[in-house]
A and B are shown apart, each in its own frame.
Chain A
Amino acid sequence: MSTRLSTFGRLIDRSVQVKFTFNGTWMRGHPGDTLASALLANDQMLVGRSFKYHRPRGIVASGAEEPNALVNLGKGPTFEPNQRATTTELYDGMTATSQNHWPSLDFDIGAINTHLSRVLPAGFYYKMFMYPRAFWKHVYEPFIRQSAGLGQAPKDRDADTYEHFYAFTDVLVIGGGIAGLQAAKSAAETGARVLLIEQTAHWGGRAMVDAQDAETVNGAPVDKYVDEITAQLSQMPNVTLRTRCMGAGIYDHGYVLAYERLRDHAPETPGPRHRLWRVRAGRVITATGAIERPLSFAGNDLPGVMLASALRDYVVNYGVSAGDRTVIATNNDDAYLTAILLKKAGLEVPRILDARPQGGGALMAEAQALGLRVDTGRAIAKVKGGRRVSKVQICAQAGEGGVLDEVACDAVAMSGGWSPVVHLWSHCGGKLLWDEGHAMFRPDVDNPPRSHDGAGFVACAGMANGAMTLDAVLHDAHDAGQAAAEATGHSPKRSKAPAATSCTAAPLAPVWLMPQGAKQELRAKTWLDFQNDVKVTDVQLAAQEGFESVEHTKRYTTLGMATDQGKLSNINGLAILSDALGQPIPATGTTTFRPPYTPISMGAIGGEARGDVFQPIRRTPMHDWHAANGAQSEPVGHWRRPYAYVRQGEDAHDAVMREVTNTRTHLGILDASTLGKLIVKGSDAGRFLDMLYTNVMSSLKPGRCRYGLMCSENGFLSDDGVVARIDEDTWLCHTTSGGADRIHGVMEEWLQTEWWDWKVYVANVTEQYAQIAVVGPNARKVLEKLGGMDVSAGTLSFMGWADGTIGGFDCRVYRISFSGELSYEIAVRASEGQAFWDALMAAGQAFGVMPYGTEALHIMRAEKGFIMIGDETDGTVIPQDLGLDWAISKKKEDYLGKRAQQRSHMIDPNRWKLVGLETIDGSVLPDGAYAVAPGMNANGQRNMIGRVTSTYHSPTLNKGIAMGLVHNGPGRRGEILEFPGTDGTNYKARIVSPVFYDPEGEKQNV
């Protein structure tokens, strides 16, 4: 059984007990435990079921590489699935449950799949779910959805907060092991700004566990040196140290994402849960160490089979033994460290199986001196057991797996050598070399990720760079630190890496399959990817079926596609693939390493952008008034505009009808503040506007307004609005509500990049003003009641503007109308907007004033046949399509879009053109409906001859009115078209003039 030892446990505080539950059972641990170490201390080796076959799985590793121990953590608003027990720090009251089983972890019906494994080979889903086609929707897809995914999605809203942080540094060091610490120190001593981040809560990394008694740095034990260097770094003002902060991804130009877990270990503390550091670093050093590889033997996925290094971690760091009797299987010297440690901890090590015919070096001798039995040239034929290892069958590594011996045990420690953690190096294009001696990929220092200046900006240090002894690690890290500092403009003093004594090891022998000639029945039980259930036979089958590229094999077998991204399985898998393809490993290569290194929370990615600040909402000066007066709002760009002011007893439709009728008969006011307002000034401003608009603006007289259209160079209509000439060289251009920033951008673009010698300045003054449309037959009366300026037809005629005061407010009044009624648009300072609105509402009581929203505005403009950008236009419509030829200058030599409008398909008489549409029965046409003609097109669809662009019920005319684009529309006046609706109704509408109301314009011009 696995249990808590009375000795060891450097990271735990035995004087304090922490209680937690696993699958509802209360368990105890200590502060400093990870959930994994605490589970082992409670003899909970079985922690989950595998994804495909639902096989029982136990803890394999002790860190970020763990494939099996994924749990659901928390409840309700703090629930989160797929949390790695090995990197989850224990706290009092933690609630964890295991995943991927039903009804329980111990009895799981899905485990039947393990007996079906012969019929569920690689590619099963691809092969099985192809035919019959009809099964897809009702059989296959529901089945796949049921079984897809690990863990459960949270149901409650996340109660935590998250944030980003932009950090800038000369040197970023990722990894706080001895290499990272040394690199940071060597860089910081030059004066460079250094940020050092470590994913765990502790400094020192593997060296704190693995350093042997004979190994020293500057004559001191390794742990003392780590303490000393950490203390030095924490005193340096140019150094920032961060634990619980993982380097998640390296991107272009020195951009790095780091994921800081602020209170996952202490959920009661206030503040954000995670912080995503968005770092710009001059140089990045990845000192990310190495990960031990599993060995591939039959039954290697049984609970109790663990990485040899993980067994050491659990003993040394947490005082936890994984088993009482541990068989060791290895192809290198490091596993002897585990054997020796377990023996010293008083545990049994009945057998060490060293696949190398000659065995190991000094460490083997030390183990033998402790009385441990070492069998060289031996391998595991098969591990036996159910929910836990019970015995190991031993064979010759050179053979096919004939059993020579059996040893009872409850744990197996395996070591297949080490793989440098090259993920971060590779994220942004760093290349790899195959190191034959250590049987591993390591960074190709001549092909680093390159930054904006063309220079490599990432360097690896220590084991991540393939340095495998303490002395080599420190030298490598020192050099990397100095080089990074120098590259960022700092001058390193000539200094040496600290002197270290290291132990040397006998060479490793690559072992990719155990035994080397394992029979089919053994290979079919030999796991490569524990989380996604990929076996040696699956990869071999993929190769046999022609998936020769490692990327294809990965996707076909799902090798390395689980949440652990194959940290344990990738190299073993591609070695098996290479063997099956009969080519060397470097010829096969690796799959692409992609960020993040381990999964990071969605909350951290979103940062502050959730809830009220998910997106900026733009508010007009009267925003709060609208909200307080029943306004239902609608988004217009980032603005929120009142759609309609709904009164008690009304629905939105009723409110819209009332607002239209009241405005047409009495008085309506509209918050038009969102309309874009751009000041265009300069001696070339008129010439500039003549290029921007399709008609002539330079001829406009000061004091007058003119409606204008803007097109893109493609000729398509892009924006419209009323332009007012302010003085000799100043114009004010109104844009659509959503268009101000875009059109301002367009103006700046042409001024800066094409006509840069023209003397024109543009200023966006949209938000300087609250603009209110005062509309209806009583509009003049209310302004006269407020008093202050002459707004009579004689003084301020239609399409004129004037400055003055109304009711004591400084204002600019435009006599323009988008409704067809007598209308004044009045701009006052934004800070006075609410007061002016209040004054209009108060003075308007006598004249039947009501505010109206955007829907009433839309209906009134449609009744008048005025187009709306975004309704009648969609980026493919030219002004000529809309019958707006009157607003296109024939005289001007040039304007933006003019040349495009001369292209053959733009002058094609078959283009769809704007018409009015009136339903025969008065109903409202569905928005976007298509008009159909007899016959089918080449795709077997009904022939289409037009579509609805705007459609409303007009309270003024008491019937449905619409606008649409129709093939040869204006020439078909009176014809009746059919519009099949998605509701099955066949709507019929007659083509009429798009101007439904007051075609002579008598009402607005009074």
Chain B
Amino acid sequence: MSKVISVLNQARFHGIADVTELGVQGMISLRGDLSSARLKTAARTATGATVPEPHRVTISDQGGLCWMAPDELLVLVPYAEVSTRLTKLQDALAKDHALAVDVSDARAVFQLGGPHAREVLAKLSPVDLSARAFTPGMLRRTRLAQVAAAFWMTQDEAFRIVCFRSVAQYVFDLLSIAAQDGSEVDAL
């Protein structure tokens, strides 16, 4: 599908941390009763991952689930499979009060990695990113300078950042500035 172009075409920046736009990622916004057995099953069927605890993500080899709000998950699936998995999810929840919509193209996804990755994020978000407070598997929805974003830690020294597509360039620029050479803080 050559007509599909991710928002920044996988742009990269290398400074005190590495910033990479990750290309297209299948994403479904799912709202509903996260405690309902049917929703849990449907979400697991769609991703192979179990519904996470608040402020956490669970990742499987087929996808993942991000806790976004008490009644909202972000469902991660391969981009090419969004339509089929979305339809399955909608069918499974047809009898419930729930909403599942494709937001793959409405978002941009970044990878932020390296020993100073925590610091780079801490320059932009009012969140305690020290190793005491933020560990792999944790997710936070917050602001990144002036725009909304969500990020989670995939492993030590690596973050996945999701923002709205229209501000992808802004977020890439922010991360690049925050990761500029010579800007190590060495405080986390």
Contact = CB atoms under 8 A, between A and B. Distances in A.
- Asked if A and B form a direct contact in the complex, defined as CB atoms under 8 angstroms apart, the reply is yes
Given A612-B173, A831-B5, 11 more contacts: A165-B187, A616-B167, A617-B169, A619-B168, A621-B165, A767-B106, A830-B105, A831-B7, A835-B3, A835-B4, A836-B3
In the complex, which of the residues A272, A761, A834 has the most CB atoms of chain B within 10 Å of its own CB atom?
Answer: A761
B128 interface: yes
Contact of A167 (B97, B99, B122, B164): B122
Contacts of A836: 3
Interface string B157-188: 00000001111111001100110111111010
A823 to B, nearest CB: 24
B101 A763 contact: yes
A269 B181 CA distance: 10
A280 B185 CA distance: 17
Interface string A268-296: 01111001001010000000000000000
B105 A831 contact: yes
B34 to A, nearest CB: 13
B116 to A, nearest CB: 12
Contact of A829 (B105, B122, B125): B105
Contacts of A278: 126
B29 interface: yes
Interface stretch (A440-448, A677-685, A883-891): A677-685
A679 B98 CA distance: 12
B185 A768 contact: no
Contact of B177 (A608, A765, A768): A608
A759 interface: yes
Chain A interface size, as a band, is 35 or more
A618 B7 CA distance: 12
Contacts of A617: 167, 169-170
A79 interface: no
Contacts of B126: 166, 278, 280
B174 A270 contact: no
Contacts of A829: 4, 104-105
B6 interface: yes
Given A679-B101, A831-B24, A832-B4, A763 B31 contact: yes
Interface in A195-223: 195
A269 B164 CA distance: 35
A195 B97 CA distance: 49
Contacts of B123: 163-166, 607-608
Contacts of A618: 164, 166-167
A193 interface: yes
A193 B4 contact: no
A613 B97 contact: no
B145 to A, nearest CB: 6
B183 A163 contact: yes
Interface string B92-136: 000001110111111100000000000100111111111011000
A613 B174 contact: yes
Contact of B97 (A608, A679, A759, A831): A759
B146 interface: yes
Interface in B40-97: 97
B97 A765 contact: no
A683 B98 CA distance: 10
Nearest to A769: B105
Contact of B180 (A271, A761, A832): A271
B11 interface: no
B31 A761 contact: yes
B130 to A, nearest CB: 7
A616 B170 contact: yes
A163 B182 CA distance: 12
Contact of B147 (A616, A679, A832): A616
A161 B177 CA distance: 9
Contacts of A683: 97
A615 interface: yes
Contacts of A491: none
B48 to A, nearest CB: 24
A914 B180 CA distance: 55
A558 B183 CA distance: 40
Contacts of B129: 166
A619 B101 contact: no
Interface in A119-137: none
A488 to B, nearest CB: 13
Contacts, number: 140
Given A608-B145, A767-B166, A165 B122 contact: yes
Interface in B1-46: 2-7, 24, 29, 31-32
A599 to B, nearest CB: 23
Contacts of A616: 145-147, 167, 170
B24 A166 contact: no
B182 A269 contact: yes
Can you list the 3 inter-chain pairs with the closest CB atoms, starting with the nearest?
Answer: A271-B182, A270-B182, A835-B3
In the complex, which of the residues B24, B126, B168 has the most CB atoms of chain A within 10 Å of its own CB atom?
Answer: B126
Contacts of B167: 616-619, 638
B117 to A, nearest CB: 14
Nearest to B121: A166
B103 A167 contact: no
B174 A766 contact: no
A326 to B, nearest CB: 43
B103 A165 contact: no
A608 B170 CA distance: 11
A272 B182 contact: yes
Nearest to A242: B187
A804 to B, nearest CB: 15
A434 interface: no
A987 interface: no
A639 interface: yes
A270 B29 CA distance: 42
A896 interface: no
A114 interface: no
A397 interface: no
Contacts of B102: 765, 768
Nearest to B126: A166
Nearest to A834: B5
A450 B103 CA distance: 44
A609 B145 contact: yes
10 contacts: A165-B119, A167-B187, A193-B132, A608-B145, A618-B166, A679-B101, A768-B103, A830-B165, A831-B104, A832-B4
A862 B97 CA distance: 42
Contact of A768 (B104, B125, B133, B170): B104
A556 interface: no
Interface string A344-377: 0000000000000000000000000000000000
Contact of A166 (B122, B168, B169, B173): B122
A866 interface: no
Nearest to A624: B169
A118 to B, nearest CB: 54
A788 to B, nearest CB: 14
B173 A619 contact: no
B170 A613 contact: yes
Contacts of A661: none
A968 interface: no
Contact of A168 (B97, B107, B130): B130
Nearest to A681: B99
B106 A768 contact: yes
Contacts of B99: 679, 681-682, 761, 763
A620 interface: yes
In the complex, which of the residues B133, B173, B181 has the most CB atoms of chain A within 10 Å of its own CB atom?
Answer: B173
